[in-house]
């Protein structure tokens, strides 16, 4: 239905500060942690592609963010692909170094979805919902300090880390653009190649409205 297209600065591949890993190519043979079938899984694969490596060139370690954070802290993995606010928390540690940002590899966009039957039968309701969400998104863009305070209170994540994550979040909601569709198609193709998706998916087939020509 709609998307929040991200700049990608809220997700990254992290390594210990004193790690010999300096480039994406240095990930070869290393233990890389990420959450299975997540945006971090996709970012890891895209990073390998950019470095001319394949999935078989690393030792994948699939862990939920909290478990991956613990493994990274104790040195059980060589690198960790993660998103905010976990990224912000780890980034603020003096022992952590950012190897690469998603900005330069694969941007993890967010999407607003609806069941096909609902989209076909309740179009005006969905439009009203998107309008309301758009208003909330614009408020978030203009009131990042308040957003950070609310999120920190609700999640228990320290305010400093939450504010760092909020400051680099793209809240604005817009139509599905060709660039957003193309990026999500790459995700679907990567996951199908790994067997995480049983059959090929054509993202354009799931669109409710014609693709905007502005993206």
CA 68/CA 5 separation, integer angstroms: 26
Residue for token pair 């890891």: 44
Query: In the chain, what are the domains?
Result: 2-104 (3.40.190.10)
Task: Give this prediction's pTM.
Answer: 0.89
Under the banding of pLDDT at 50, 70 and 90, the label for residue 1 is low
Nearest partner of 211 among 170, 179, 172, judged by Cα:
179
CA 133/CA 63 separation, integer angstroms: 32
What pLDDT, in 10s, does the model give residues 53-83? 999 999 999 999 999 999 999 999 999 999 9
What pLDDT, in 10s, does the model give residues 183-211? 999 999 999 999 999 999 999 988 875 44
Instruction: Tell me which of 48-62, 162-176, 200-214 is least confident.
Output: 200-214
- Cβ atoms of 183 and 14 within 8 Å: the answer is no
Angle (nearest 5°) at CA 53 between 50 and 54 = 115
Percentage of the chain beyond pLDDT 90 is 79
18, pLDDT greater than 80: yes
């Amino acid at each position: 239905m709609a998307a929040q297209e991200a700049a990608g600065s809220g997700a990254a591949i992290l390594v210990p500060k004193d790690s010999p890993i300096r480039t994406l190519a240095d990930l070869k043979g290393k233990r890389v942690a990420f959450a299975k079938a997540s945006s971090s899984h996709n970012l890891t694969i895209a990073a390998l592609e950019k470095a001319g490596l394949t999935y078989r060139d690393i030792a994948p370690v699939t862990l939920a963010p909290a478990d991956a954070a613990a493994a990274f802290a104790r040195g059980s993995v060589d690198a960790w692909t993660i998103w905010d606010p976990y990224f912000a928390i780890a980034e603020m540690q003096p022992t952590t170094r950012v190897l690469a940002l998603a900005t330069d590899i694969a941007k993890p966009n967010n999407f607003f979805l609806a069941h096909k039957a609902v989209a076909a039968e309740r179009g005006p309701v969905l439009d009203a919902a998107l309008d309301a969400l758009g208003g909330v998104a614009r408020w978030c863009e203009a009131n990042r300090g308040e957003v950070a305070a609310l999120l920190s209170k609700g999640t228990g994540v320290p305010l400093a880390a939450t504010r760092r994550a909020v400051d680099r979040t793209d809240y604005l909601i817009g139509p599905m653009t060709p660039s957003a569709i193309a990026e999500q198609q790459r995700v679907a193709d990567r996951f199908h190649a790994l067997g995480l998706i049983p059959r090929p998916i054509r993202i354009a087939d799931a669109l409710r409205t014609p693709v905007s020509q502005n993206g």
